[in-house]
A and B are shown apart, each in its own frame.
Chain A
Amino acid sequence: MAIPALPADYSPPASTSKLTPFITQPKGKLIQAGPAFLGHIRLTRHHDGDFKKYDAATAKEREQALAASGSGNGEEDDLGVGDESEDETLLSLDPKEWKKQDHYRVLGLSHLRWTATPAQIKIAHRKKVLRHHPDKKASDTTATALGLNLNTNDDAFFKCIQKAHEVLTNTERRRQFDSVDPAFLEEVDEVPGASDFKTKPPPFLPTFAPIFEREARFSRIQPVPKLAVPVEGDAKPSGDPNDIKGHEFPTLKAHVEAFYDFWYNFDSWRSFEWLDKEVNEGSDSRDDKRYTEKKNKSERARRKREDIARVRGIVDLCLSVDPRIKHIKLQEKEAREAKKAAGAGKKGGALAAPAAKSKKEEEEEKAKKEEEEKAAKAEAKKAKAAAANAAKKARRAQRAAEEEGA
């Protein structure tokens, strides 16, 4: 509604009057039905006819209702699949390029990805089909009314959905896709290198915990030990990596050792069949086929090797900067020293003068420090050697497996 401007010489009428008195109507005149009546009684009985209070209350109620429906309290649980937005680029995907598409994104599962259960995949697929089935488009009268012909490429996205469903419901093909999951590959690129730790080391636990959690999905052995030491009871694990004093020393040592032991012998199912090149279509030549197969095989093996080395690199890096290793060393050394000192004390028997003792202590401390440094260096060296050894072993095993396969 457009309203004309107030005239420049406008002045309101001089006298104002009050509202004409209202009429009180007898009972039964107001019809007691309908949503507006419900609003009316709410307004008059709960909020004393105050519109502001009423507005606030209804807004709150709506929010609650929304929250209740959002948390899946409805009769039909969608197992947290939810509704993902679909943008233009997603909808214009080409089904011919199905190998390049993100199947989780197509089914609207990008928040769940590899954790999606078969039931969730089924629900997500059904949701998408309900929306994008070509039969639904035929009845889309708005498009026809606008004179648009959407029929040219109508079921392309539906084909993408079907392809995604086909891949994700087949366990083997799903593993192949999960191995080269685009979201995973993206995250892998963000792993910090050794150089990052030299200049300005990022916090230990928050950096490495998610990395190991991410890699754990490929393990054939489940569950995978966590980087952080599990805390008993209700206490929440603190994010501070230096907060290791709280743990009993033996549990800490056992856990850390088990962790590195697991990751140095990591058994991954990750494979790279997904990236295979296809044999030229229409080519009947057996030689062509064999050649491509051979190429693919060597490529797969190369990628697998690279992947093993990559995981190894991460574990090496983690071990080299792990503050807990240092802590363990220190503790062990202290224990040794204490033992030694106790032995010496028994042997000597005599008590040294307090002044001399302080001097001696100083010296001892100095020596301890030096030794510590030395030990750390040696340990690092040892670890490196062990890593190299393990890598060699893994490579050998790989080669053996390959030969067996051939």
Chain B
Amino acid sequence: MAPKPTPNGNAAQAAEATPSSIPAVVGINLGNAYASIAVYTKEGLAECIANENGERQIACAIAFHGEEIYVGNQAMPQLVKNAHNTITGFRNLLGKKFSEIDQSTAATSAPLIQHPTESDTPAYRVDILQPAPTPLPTSASNTPAASHAATPRSEPTPSTRIFTPQEATTMFLSSLLQSATDFLGKPILGAVITVPPFFTQPQKDALKKAAEDSGVRVLQLLDEASAVLTTTTSPQWPGGAEDRTQLVVDVGASSLSLSVIALRSGLGYVLGSRTTTDAANIGGDALSSLLVKHFAKEFTKKTKTALPQPPSTKEDIRATTKLLLALEYTKRTLSASPAPASLSVESLHSGLDFTATIARMRFDLLATPIYTAISSEIKSLLESISIDPHDIDEIAYVGGTACLPGLDSYLLTSVGFSEDVQTAFSNSTMGSGAIGDPTGVLSIGSALQAALLLAIPEESPELAQAFEEAEEVKTTSRTIGMLFPTSNPDDSNGLGGMYISVIHKHTPLPARRIFEVEVTLSGGEGDKATKFGFEVWEVEEGIKVEKAAPLPPSSDDDDDEPEEPEEVKTKTTTKRNFLGTLFGETKGTAVKDKTKKGTYTAAVQIEFALGLDGVLLVETRDSKGEKVGELRVES
């Protein structure tokens, strides 16, 4: 028996992007504490990449030690012994005047001074060792050599260097760009860099200048909300409907940005946003200081050695810094795994080692003040724009602190989002450099935007220009939907038929939505049935709150408090304005199913186009693309 020949290959496998189609662009998320870079990988997907030390989250720090310069995470340990030569937190000082800067904050890093030559400019002074010039080559002809040994190099001379925050940024960015160039293996054609929403124009200019000094073409400075939008509307983003309302929670080291965005077929429209830079109560730094307090107490308890918080002596400051550095890893472990995370520091204080573990539960308890602060900010934002938490379809977390699962579960219950809200946790896209991870959202968005801008043809500069200048838009004020009436109107929604939302509230004009549906035809027996139709309505969407009856209290329950009735929220749709009915005629095909013998169906494409002039045009087309029905609604 001869076996049937099986194909040895699969021609479909070759659907890979050719190397030439990969745009050589880089997206940079430059935070105050950490930065990340994203490029297009060999697979043609934008991805957050690790630098040559294997770090996706690159600390914004530069340290000078003798002749050496450390950039990134390597510079962080220098904060312990060499703090006065280590520069951190330079991004927020970009473009600021010396007089504007609050001197009380920058404590652990290099001292901020007035620039010696330029007026009202902040600067860092660091001590370095200037490498000595190489000795002149000994000439054999002139003088007889005293010995065969080479002349020893003279010692490097100690000196100081002055860095403005802008120069520090340039230095840091060029190291990031170097990593991206090494990864791609070809020169970078352009970069998009994120800016926080609170940056002023001089600050943006300073950032742009710093980036251009590092030798890259800056395609755009993208504000963080836009970077989030670009990532979350890309086809790579997991889950999510075409039209959805999104809450962006960006928890940085020292700031919190919230925005509610109506995503309408890729277009983002800000319903409301707010930014808090209250470093003492919100963000990663506040969380760290809470944890430091906790562990300092634990250390004192264990070793009977005092480690006062806030630290006063030099040794205490050093111990606190050591603890802070170790805590970064503890926080990451807590985000990544449900097991208790450990913290261990060698020679923390007075030569004593310290090892401790912390479980998620304990950690969340400690972090509750931060969580509460974030939650109340969200609540007040939603209230101010009168949006119910149930209207939020998706929460996009951004930043390292947003990776904490405790924060997510706290927010879900305390703010009262619906159960099927999509987050990075419900999509399980945490960790790794892939697109769903909160730490990479901004850099990936920037890379996507950079590729988009680079692809704009040279001959239409007005398109690139449009990304810079704001413009007015008109948006719809009510949701428009189609209703397919049915004969037995006992359906649950109370609309008398099958309802599909088409153009949602807050959709910018012009808008178009296309649906493919299978309609059952009526108006005759057998193949004489050619008619179909639907109504177009403006509807109002609301939330119905039902109070579920509390459980009957059990007899042995000693709780004094009466249980609060549980609120059950459901989305409702009410018909408001009838816009018209569309009747169409088309030829159908018989249904194969025997139980539905004699029914004819046809595949129909329904297109809703809402033009700039405010005219809604509904058209239906059959499978051949011919028009089989039309409805026009004026505004």
Contacts and interface: CB of A to CB of B under 8 A. Distances in A.
Contacts of B11: 85-86, 91, 131
Interface in A317-338: none
B456 A23 contact: no
A95 to B, nearest CB: 9
Interface string B413-428: 0000000000000000
A10 to B, nearest CB: 6
A357 B496 CA distance: 108
Contacts of A25: 269, 472-475, 508
Interface in A1-48: 1-10, 12-13, 15-45, 48
B154 interface: no
B164 to A, nearest CB: 30
Nearest to B520: A5
A171 interface: no
Interface in B458-485: 462-463, 466-468, 470-478, 480, 484-485
A25 B507 CA distance: 11
A50 interface: yes
Given A30-B269, A34-B449, A41-B463, A16 B578 contact: yes
A6 B531 contact: yes
Contacts of B468: 32
Contacts of B535: 12-13
B471 A24 contact: no
Looking at chain B's contact residues, the main secondary structure is mixed
Nearest to A10: B485
Interface string B252-270: 0000000001000111111
Nearest to A1: B517
Contact of A33 (B227, B473, B531): B227
Contacts of B518: 1-3
Contact of A32 (B234, B467, B609): B467
Contacts of A43: 510
Contacts of B480: 19
Contacts of A33: 222, 226-227, 229-230, 268, 445, 449, 467
Nearest to B10: A140
B390 interface: no
Contacts of B485: 6-7, 10
B443 to A, nearest CB: 14
A152 B486 contact: no
Contact of A34 (B452, B579, B601): B452
Interface string A82-119: 01011010011100000000000000000000000000
Contacts of A91: 7-9, 11
A76 interface: yes
A45 B466 contact: yes
B366 to A, nearest CB: 36
Given A7-B486, A22-B614, A33-B226, A153 B8 contact: yes
Contacts of A35: 233, 266, 452
A3 B512 CA distance: 21
Interface stretch (B14-22, B46-54, B68-76, B282-290): B14-22
A64 to B, nearest CB: 10
B8 A31 contact: no
Given A32-B467, A34-B268, A45 B462 contact: yes
A136 to B, nearest CB: 7
Given A16-B579, A136-B13, A31 B225 contact: yes
Given A21-B635, A25-B473, A31-B270, A1 B516 contact: yes
A19 B510 contact: no
A275 interface: no
B568 interface: no
A157 B9 contact: yes
A156 interface: yes
Given A1-B517, A6-B531, A20 B473 contact: no
B510 A17 contact: no
Contacts of A12: 535, 578, 580-581
A156 B222 CA distance: 52
B612 interface: yes
B633 interface: yes
A383 interface: no
Interface string A248-273: 00000000000000000000000000
Contact of A92 (B6, B13, B474, B478): B6
A18 B234 CA distance: 35
Contacts of B452: 34-35, 38
B538 A19 contact: yes
Contacts of A28: 270, 470
A28 B581 CA distance: 37
Interface string B76-111: 000000000000000000000000000000000000
B509 interface: yes
B522 interface: yes
B340 interface: no
Nearest to A9: B487
A86 B14 CA distance: 12
A19 B9 contact: no
B389 interface: no
A22 B515 CA distance: 23
A202 interface: no
B628 to A, nearest CB: 14
A26 B480 CA distance: 23
B268 A6 contact: no
Nearest to B22: A75
Contacts of B441: none
A132 interface: yes
B6 A37 contact: no
A206 interface: no
Contacts of A85: 11
A357 to B, nearest CB: 76
A267 B626 CA distance: 64
A131 B11 CA distance: 8
Contacts of A51: 510, 512, 609, 611
B152 interface: no
A10 B532 CA distance: 11
B521 interface: yes
B519 interface: yes
A42 B463 contact: yes
Nearest to A128: B9
B6 A153 contact: yes
A182 interface: no
B474 A22 contact: yes
Contacts of A50: 611
A16 B580 contact: yes
Contact of B471 (A3, A30, A36): A30
A45 B581 CA distance: 32
A212 to B, nearest CB: 37
A5 B521 contact: yes
B13 A31 contact: no
Given A74-B20, A150-B6, A37 B14 contact: no
A341 interface: no
B5 interface: yes
B633 A19 contact: yes
Interface of A: 1-10, 12-13, 15-45, 48-51, 74-76, 83, 85-86, 88, 91-93, 130-132, 136, 140, 143, 150, 152-158
30 contacts: A3-B498, A3-B519, A10-B533, A12-B580, A15-B578, A18-B634, A19-B480, A19-B577, A19-B614, A19-B616, A20-B576, A24-B474, A25-B472, A25-B473, A26-B472, A29-B270, A31-B267, A31-B268, A35-B233, A37-B467, A40-B508, A45-B466, A49-B509, A49-B612, A74-B21, A91-B8, A131-B9, A153-B8, A156-B8, A157-B9
Given A1-B516, A4-B498, A25-B475, 14 more contacts: A1-B515, A19-B577, A29-B270, A31-B229, A33-B227, A33-B268, A35-B233, A35-B452, A44-B612, A51-B611, A83-B14, A86-B9, A88-B5, A131-B14
* Top 8 A-B pairs, shortest CB-CB distance: A36-B266, A49-B612, A157-B8, A92-B5, A33-B226, A7-B487, A31-B268, A75-B20
